[in-house]
Amino acid sequence: MKDLIIIGASGFGREVLWLVERINEKSAEWNILGFFDDDLSIQGKEINGYKVIGTSDDVLKYSNSYFVCAVGASHIRKKVIEKVTNLNPDIKFATVIDPSVEMSKLHKIGVGTIICAHTVLTVNFTIGDHVIINLDCTVGHDVVLGDFDTLYPSVNVSGAVTVGKCTELGTGSQIIQCKNIGENTIIGAGAVVVSDIPDKCTAVGCPAKPIRFFE
């Protein structure tokens, strides 16, 4: 078994712990050491049976372990990954996929990615590094998801969609086929994307339209 530390001990961190426990029920793959979290008030505390054993500053103390970052917000997850990688350029990241996930063998999935229960991914899709696909999502053929993307629960991405890096697709959002969504963009919960969405904006509604742009 490989040692594993989950970065982030909040709600999604506990869900990722459950995901890893489900993997181990099928095949003993991960020895869960505990959580890292930068909240100093919870250091040493036990969460769902596992202790918070350090902060992101402690990665070198566990140089033989694997890490997975369970921070939901894309931009924060990116900062955490950049920090721990700078501290230990040889850090090892785990890719964890719930046993219930259905997908073809024709795919590319990057390191550090988390795919949660009851998600379906079809054929010839490409997923970047440190992507989170939450519960009950669908991803169609030839979809490309960029590094640090987050799909919240029940997102439906149709075929041949491209999503730029560090973008978040809100709960229950739907993307029709062959659309492009930019980098560092947020698609609101329940939005329906029927046309391309640019970089660095928040888009909401049906049809989804940008309502705010970021610097």
Label each residue of 197-208 as H, E or C: ECCCEEEECCCC
In degrees and rounded to multiples of 5, residue 87 shows phi and psi of -70, -35
Q: Is residue 215 part of a domain?
A: no
Q: Is residue 178 part of a domain?
A: yes
For the chain, the domain total comes to 2
In angstroms, rounded to a whole number, what is the distance separating the alpha carbons of residues 169 and 191?
Answer: 9
What proportions of the chain, in percent to the nearest 5, are helix, strand and coil?
20, 35, 50
- Per the structure, the complete domain to which residue 62 belongs is given by 2-94
CB 18 within 8 A of CB 135: no
The CATH code of the domain that includes 203 is 2.160.10.10
Residues 162 and 64 placed together within one structural domain of the fold: no
Residues 127 and 34 placed together within one structural domain of the fold: no
Q: Where are the alpha helices (DSSP H) in 73-199?
A: 74-87
Residues 131 and 46 placed together within one structural domain of the fold: no
pLDDT in tens, the chain (215 residues): 999 999 999 999 999 999 999 999 999 999 999 999 999 999 999 999 999 999 999 999 999 999 999 999 999 999 999 999 999 999 999 999 999 999 999 999 999 999 999 999 999 999 999 999 999 999 999 999 999 999 999 999 999 999 999 999 999 999 999 999 999 999 999 999 999 999 999 999 999 999 999 97
Residues 77 and 127 placed together within one structural domain of the fold: no
Residues 128 and 57 placed together within one structural domain of the fold: no
Type of residue at 68? V
> Which distant-in-sequence residues (6+ apart) come within 8 Å of 103 by Cβ?
120, 121, 122, 125
Where a domain ends, among 76, 94, 112?
A: 94
CB 147 within 8 A of CB 128: yes
Residues 43 and 106 placed together within one structural domain of the fold: no
Residues 116 and 170 placed together within one structural domain of the fold: yes
Residues 181 and 79 placed together within one structural domain of the fold: no
